[in-house]
Amino acid sequence: MSVWSGAERERCAGALEALDRVLEEKPERLHEEVRGVLHCLIGLRDHLILERRRHGASPDPDSRLEHVNAVISVMTSGSFPVVGLNHDRLKQARDLLAAILDTARRE
C-alpha cells in the first residue's frame, strides 16, 4: 500500500471527516456523504486488488484487503438499512477507516 497516492489519501481523509460530521449531526438521511465514503473505500479496495495482481499474494496486503472489504460491508449495512441511518454501524466503519488511514500515513 506504499504506492497509495497522496490524492487517494486526501480523498479518504475527506471521507473520514464526512463520517465524523454524519456521526456528530446524526441525521436520518445524508446519503451523498455516505456515498463519498463508499467511493473512497471502493477505490482503496480496487487499488489493493491491482497491487495484489501485480505483486502476488502476501499476508500484509491481503489482510488490508480483508479489512477494507469489512469496512465496505459495515458502511453498506449502516448507511442503507431499511429505515434511516444506523449510526452505530457508521461509527464502527469510521473507526475502521481511521485505522486504515493511520496505517497508510505511517508508510
| Residue 24 covered by a domain | yes
Considering the domain boundaries, does residue 77 fall inside one? yes
Supply the range of the domain harboring residue 79: 6-106
User: Looking at the chain, which runs of residues are DSSP E strands?
Assistant: none
Number of domains in the chain: 1
pLDDT tens digits for 3-39? 567 777 787 888 888 888 888 887 766 667 778 888 8
Q: How confident is the model at residue 2 (pLDDT cuts 50, 70, 90)?
A: very low
d(CA 85, CA 67): 22
- In angstroms, the Cα distances linking 106 to 4, 60, 91, 99 are 12, 14, 23, 11
Give the residue-averaged pLDDT of 78-102.
Answer: 78
Domain-located, residue 1? no
pTM: 0.66
* Within-domain flag for 22: yes
d(CA 28, CA 82): 12
Q: Is the pLDDT of residue 95 over 80?
A: yes
Mean of all residue pLDDT scores within the chain = 79
